[in-house]
Amino acid sequence: MKQSKRFFMIPYFIWIGLFVIAPLVLILYQSLTNTQHQFTLQNYATYGTSTTYLHMSLNSLWYAFLITAITLLISYPAAYFLSKLKHQQLWLLLIILPTWINLLLKAYAFIGLLSRTGSVNQFLTFVGIGPQQLLFSDASFLLVATYIEIPFMILPIYNAIVELNPALINASRDLGATNWQTFRRVIFPLTISGVKAGVQAVFIPSLSLFMLTRLIGGNRVITLGTAIEEHFMTTMNWGMGSTIGVVLIVMMFIIMALTNDRRKKRREVNDDEEN
């Protein structure tokens, strides 16, 4: 019995070993070598002392935060109303559909829409306020990134809302709670797991977005993702690129730890009720 169980685990272990453990080890190893393949901590020292990298890291965090916040703000109400609709499966499909299309294609589609001769500017010209510089701005970068990430936020939140027992909402209203109080005290706490899953699914990839920063942001937005691409493709400084990779991985673990369900603190009855 045990023997065969182990046997079936083998593909899993091979997968994990080849595609998770080995790359991590390689990145770590690369980050500890310089361009002459000698062991060094210089890359980390550079990262730690350079204001450019500090600025880039903060930039990455800031944009990832913005993208996550905007998606959350749009997705929670959207998921909530979605859960009340009649043909939910159809609406869900419409939301999932764009995720099946290649990111690059979507980026080019937006370039087509937002460029100086694009349809948006044609419309702006038509109403007499165009053409405007839409592409290569912070706003367009945030717009496209949000558009791309929204399905990954809506789905987990929608699932959490659908799983919510409607009797609990009745119970809350029965005990005198207004709609807002019911939302704050019952619905939101019980769907927070979906929000956390959504935040993970959006924030972490947003940390290392690089294609959009170039195509839509016109390199005005420089993030750690852009820096990694530079180091690997242009300056060929793999050590420094890997170091930034390690920093990103550490950030991801921190986000995971922060958004994972922690065991609820026990409150003694003798203590004052926190409110």
Partner 1 sequence: MAAPIIELQGITKTYDDGFTALSNINMTIEPGKFYSLLGPSGSGKTTILRLIAGFTNASSGAILFEGQKINDLPANQRKVNTVFQNYALFPHLDVFENVAFGLNLQKRPKAEIKKRVLDALKLVQLPGYANREISELSGGQQQRVAIARAIVNEPKVLLLDEPLSALDMKLRQDMQYELRELQQRLKITFIFVTHDQEEALAMSDEIFVVNDGKILQSGTPVDIYDEPINHFVANFIGESNILPGEMLADYQVEFVGKTFECADAGMKPNEKVEVVLRPEDLDVTTAEQGKLVVTVDTQLFRGDHFEIIGIDDDGNEWLIHSTNPVRGGKHIGLTFEPEDIHVMRFGEKEADFDARLEQYEED
Q: Is residue 103 a contact partner of residue 144, using CB atoms and an 8 Å limit?
A: no
Give the binding range for partner 1 (CB under 8 A) out of 87-95, 175-183, 195-203, 241-249: 175-183
* Helix, coil or strand: residue 101: coil
Asked whether position 77 contacts partner 1 by CB under 8 A, the answer is no
Distance in angstroms (rounded) separating the CA atoms of residues 33 and 16: 25
Write the binding mask 112 to 151 for partner 1: x where contact by CB under 8 A, - elsewhere: ----------------------------------------
Quote the DSSP letter at residue 117. Answer: T
User: Considering the complex, what minimum distance in angstroms separates the CB of residue 84 from partner 1?
Assistant: 14
CA distances from 32 to 11, 49, 236, 242, 249 (A): 31, 16, 15, 9, 15
Asked whether position 260 contacts partner 1 by CB under 8 A, the answer is no
CA distances from 244 to 109, 116, 143 (A): 30, 35, 26
**Which residue among 64, 72, 186, 195 contacts partner 1 (CB under 8 A)?**
186
**Which residue among 176, 234, 257, 262 contacts partner 1 (CB under 8 A)?**
176
Give the binding range for partner 1 (CB under 8 A) out of 29-37, 59-67, 75-83, 163-171: 163-171
Asked whether position 86 contacts partner 1 by CB under 8 A, the answer is no
Q: What is the DSSP string of 182-217?
A: HIIIIIHHHHHHHHHHHHHHHHHHHHT--HHHHHTT
Interface residues toward partner 1, by CB under 8 A: 165, 167-168, 170-178, 181, 185-186, 189-190, 264, 266-269, 272-273, 275
